[in-house]
Amino acid sequence: GAVVSQHPSRVICKSGTSVKIECRSLDFQATTMFWYRQFPKKSLMLMATSNEGSKATYEQGVEKDKFLINHASLTLSTLTVTSAHPEDSSFYICSARAGQGTDTQYFGPGTRLTVL
């Protein structure tokens, strides 16, 4: 199956700093990428849907100015957590889909963010 990578796998930062997480589709072009957040032993909550070349669509309750999403190419989407605070500590997972008519989403391995 197709491979989606995330970088970094773990990041620790100080409160107030910004952190960028990359999601890459390694062997296919992803027209759509999804960003999820997962708390320990909890479900995945969709944060936003990102389509290549257009603005991301955020789910209700997700601050778009805090969680900046960029999908500038068909193989890369980035999530930037701006002015991170301890409550932003979580596990962030991306998934990628090749396009309409392709009914499979491939998940990345996730990024664990810890804000001190």
Asked if 93 is part of the footprint of another protein (rule: CB under 8 A), the reply reads yes
Per-position x/- string for 32-71, each x denoting binding to another protein as judged by CB under 8 A, each - no binding: x-x---x--xxxxxx--x----------------------
Residue type, 67: F
Contacts of 94 (CB under 8 A, 6+ apart): 4, 6, 21, 23, 33, 34, 35, 36, 77, 79, 107, 108
Token digits of residue 48: 């936003």
Asked if 104 is part of the footprint of another protein (rule: CB under 8 A), the reply reads yes
Instruction: State which of residues 27, 83, 109, 116 lies at the interface with another protein (CB under 8 A).
Output: 109
Give whichever of 38 and 89 is closer to another protein, judged by the CB atom: 38
Q: How far is the CB of 110 from another protein (least distance, A)?
A: 5
Whether 69 and 50 have beta carbons less than 8 Å apart is answered as yes
Distances (CA, A) of 12 to 35, 60, 74: 19, 27, 28
Q: Which residues bind another protein (CB under 8 A)?
A: 32, 34, 38, 41-46, 49, 91, 93, 95, 97, 100-105, 107, 109-110
